[in-house]
Every structure is written in structure tokens, then in C-alpha cells.
């Protein structure tokens, strides 16, 4: 068993007799142990590493539950009797976190909806229609994948200011919508949609927009979900652009707000940790519910890099 577990996928369970689940407990414990020694070792290493990986979260949680006066008291403790939710209460009550949360939701939803619409249309146009300069324009779009966002930050800011969009939601949202990588991911997918389906609809008199809306889009739901979730995550976590393009604290998104609040909280670590955990919570919840789509989204993004 240990030999197999090192490098191969777990074998599928043997086809058991229906209605009679295998009962390993019947065998002597020693035999069971020997058979599963590999799995036990791997699981313990995994548990150790996962535990280490979760320490920063755990420590933030422990700190956030302490009274402010106890966070910097030696020796440090993970648990103590007078833990409470005061830090959360003051962060939610006095702080601006609810306001930043709303801003983040507005910005990230706006970016996601617009990116998805614009990219899906363009990807379909490039994959399945013919028009003059199509190849040239597609090549130009793909070249954009290579352009690092930081390279254009300074001139982008100057241009956005010329458009009068500094300190507006549009100024935060629109530059994040031009995502050639997403066009590429959707383009690849649309190319794989069988042409026969579209031909059949065309014979029935459906135009391109009907075909796109009623045949191609429904077939593409998984990849659309992956692109949407991935766009949402990167927009939600985007720090640099919102930080540069907004000076009005009322427009700050969660990452920007948190970054600027350090000074105003001073060294009140319990409140800082409470705020950090509250800010982390929405995406962690999203991940628990959409794990499959997110994993697929990562795979797709990787493919875009190829």
C-alpha cells in the first residue's frame, strides 16, 4: 500500500457485494495498520503542514477575541478566559468597514458583469464570425495578455484623469474590464462548441445573436462561471489600482480602506485582526460554496498562460 500511495492515484475501491459494506474492523488491528501505514504517514504530514498553513488565521482569530489590553501581554496565549467580541463590535460600529464592503461589492460586481459580457461577445465574434481585419484584431488582443498591468499604471492614470474619471466608480471599474486573457479562455471554449448545433439553428432561421444567446451561452455555463468567479476574486483583491485612482475615502474598497486604517487604529491589534478577518470572510465563504468552479478557474487561467 505504501508503495502505491507515493506516486499513483488511489485505486478505486473493489466492487463490494451490494448491501454488505466492507468491515475492516474485523481484521486484526496490526494488519490494518500495516496496510495503511503509507496513508497514515501521508495524512500526518499533510495534517502537520495544513496546521502550519492555518496558523496565521488561527492566531488572528485568537488575537481578535482578546480584550485590547491583553494582546501585547507576555507570555502570549492562544486561549484565555476573558475572550469576547468587543473588537468586532467596535470595528463594525465605529469603523468604515461596512461602507468599504459596499464599495467592494459595487466595484467587483460591476467589473465581473461587464468583463463577462464584453469578453464573451468578443470571444464569440473572434471564434465564429468573419469580418475584415478579424485576424489582425485578434492578434492585437492576444498580444495584450503579455502587457503587465504595472507597466501602464502611470499613463493609465493620466488618461483616466483626462477622461475625468478619477474618484468615480467608473474610474475604478472600467480599466479592470479590459481583460484579454478572459477573451482567450472563452475563445478557446467557443471554438470547441460543435458547429453542427449552430448550423441547425441557422437553417431554422435563427440569427447570430439568437444562436449566441440560446445555444452557445447555455452550453458554456461552466466556463462562464469559472471566468466570472475568477474575475470577481481578482477585482475584490485588487489593491494598487483603486488605491491610486481614489482619494475620496468614501470610495475606498475594502483592501484600500484596510491599508489606510492602520494608522488610525494605531497598535490596536485586536481590532486590526478583527477587521482583517471580516475582510477575508466573504471570499472564504465564496470558496467553500464554489470550490469546483474556482479550481477550474485556476486551471483555465493557467491554460491561458500557455
Partner 1 sequence: MTTVDEVRGAAPEDRGPRARLGRALQHGGWFVAPFLVVYALFLVWPLVSGLWYSLNETNLAGINTEFIGLDNYREALDDGEMWDALGNTLRFTAMITPLIVLFAFGLALLAHNIRHGKWFWRLAFFAPFLLPSAVLAELWRWLYEPDFGLLNHTINHRVPWLLDGDWAMFSMVLATLWWTVGFSFLLYLAALQSIPGHLYEAAALDGAGPLQRMWHITVPMVRQITGLIVVLQILASLQVFDQIFLINEGGPNNETRPVVQYIIQQGFTGYRIGYASAISYLVFLLVVVVTLARLWLVRNREENVR
Under rule CB under 8 A, which residues in 216-275 are in contact with partner 1? 233, 236-237, 239-240, 244, 254-256, 258-259, 262, 269, 272-273, 275
**Are residues 226 and 296 in contact, defined by beta-carbon separation less than 8 angstroms?**
yes
Q: Cβ-count burial of 36 within 10 angstroms (0-12 exposed, 13-18 middle, 19+ buried)?
A: middle
Contacts (CB under 8 A) with partner 1, residues 134-163: 134, 137, 140-141, 144, 146-160, 162-163
Can you tell me the distance from the alpha carbon of 270 to that of 67, in angstroms, rounded to the nearest whole number?
A: 7
Handedness of CA 129, 133, 136, 141 (dihedral sign): negative
Q: Which stretch binds partner 1 (CB under 8 A): 17-25, 87-95, 219-227, 292-300?
A: 292-300
- Binding segment (CB under 8 A) for partner 1, from list 24-32, 89-97, 214-222, 293-301: 293-301
At which residue does the C-alpha cell 455555463 appear?
221
Q: Which stretch binds partner 1 (CB under 8 A): 18-26, 80-88, 114-122, 216-224?
A: 114-122
CA distance 231 to 233: 6
- For cell 481484521, the residue is 27
Q: Residue 88: name the closest of 285, 276, 286 by CA.
A: 276
Where do the H-state alpha helices sit in 65-133? 86-94, 97-128
Instruction: State the nearest-atom distance from the C-beta of 95 to partner 1, in Å.
Output: 14
Q: Is 107 in contact with 242 (CB distance < 8 Å)?
A: yes
We find the least distance from the C-beta atom of residue 213 to partner 1, in angstroms, to be 12
Question: Binding pattern to partner 1, positions 65-104, x when CB under 8 A?
Answer: ------xx-xxx----------------------------
Of residues 24 through 53, those in contact with partner 1 by CB under 8 A are 39, 42-43, 45-46, 49-50, 53
What are the grid coordinates assigned to 70, written together?
491583553
Interacting span for partner 1 (CB under 8 A) from 19-27, 82-90, 91-99, 203-211 = 203-211
Answer for which of 94, 130, 196, 248 binds partner 1 (CB under 8 A) is 130
Site for partner 1 in 160-199 (CB under 8 A): 160, 162-163, 174-175, 177-178, 180, 183
Amino acid at each position: 500500500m505504501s508503495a502505491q500511495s507515493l506516486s499513483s492515484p488511489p485505486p478505486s475501491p473493489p466492487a463490494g457485494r451490494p448491501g454488505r459494506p466492507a468491515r475492516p474492523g474485523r481484521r486484526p488491528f496490526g494488519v490494518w495498520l500495516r496496510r495503511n501505514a503509507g496513508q497514515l504517514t501521508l495524512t500526518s504530514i499533510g495534517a502537520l503542514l495544513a496546521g502550519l498553513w492555518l496558523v496565521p488565521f488561527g492566531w488572528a482569530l485568537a488575537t481578535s477575541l482578546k480584550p485590547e489590553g491583553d494582546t501585547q501581554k507576555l507570555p502570549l496565549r492562544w486561549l484565555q478566559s476573558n475572550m469576547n467580541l468587543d473588537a468586532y463590535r467596535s470595528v463594525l460600529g465605529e469603523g468604515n468597514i461596512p461602507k468599504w464592503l459596499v464599495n467592494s461589492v459595487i466595484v467587483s460586481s460591476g467589473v465581473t458583469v461587464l468583463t463577462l459580457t464584453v469578453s464573451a461577445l468578443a470571444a464569440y465574434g473572434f471564434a465564429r464570425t468573419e469580418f475584415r481585419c478579424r485576424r489582425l484584431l485578434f492578434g492585437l488582443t492576444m498580444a495584450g495578455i503579455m502587457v503587465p498591468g504595472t507597466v501602464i499604471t502611470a499613463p493609465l492614470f493620466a488618461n483616466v484623469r483626462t477622461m475625468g474619471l478619477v474618484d468615480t466608480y467608473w474610474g475604478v471599474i472600467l480599466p479592470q474590464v479590459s481583460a484579454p486573457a478572459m477573451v482567450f479562455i472563452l475563445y478557446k471554449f467557443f471554438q470547441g462548441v460543435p458547429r453542427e448545433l449552430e448550423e441547425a439553428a441557422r437553417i431554422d432561421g435563427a440569427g447570430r445573436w439568437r444562436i449566441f444567446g440560446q445555444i452557445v451561452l447555455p452550453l458554456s455555463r461552466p466556463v462562464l462561471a469559472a471566468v466570472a468567479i475568477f474575475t470577481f476574486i481578482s477585482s475584490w483583491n485588487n489593491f494598487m489600482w483603486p488605491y491610486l485612482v481614489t482619494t475620496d475615502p468614501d470610495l475606498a474598497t475594502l483592501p484600500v480602506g484596510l491599508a489606510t486604517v492602520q494608522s488610525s487604529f494605531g497598535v490596536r491589534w485586536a481590532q486590526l485582526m478583527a477587521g482583517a478577518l471580516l475582510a477575508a470572510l466573504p471570499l472564504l465563504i465564496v470558496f467553500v460554496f464554489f470550490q469546483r468552479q474556482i479550481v477550474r478557474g485556476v486551471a483555465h487561467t493557467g491554460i491561458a498562460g500557455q
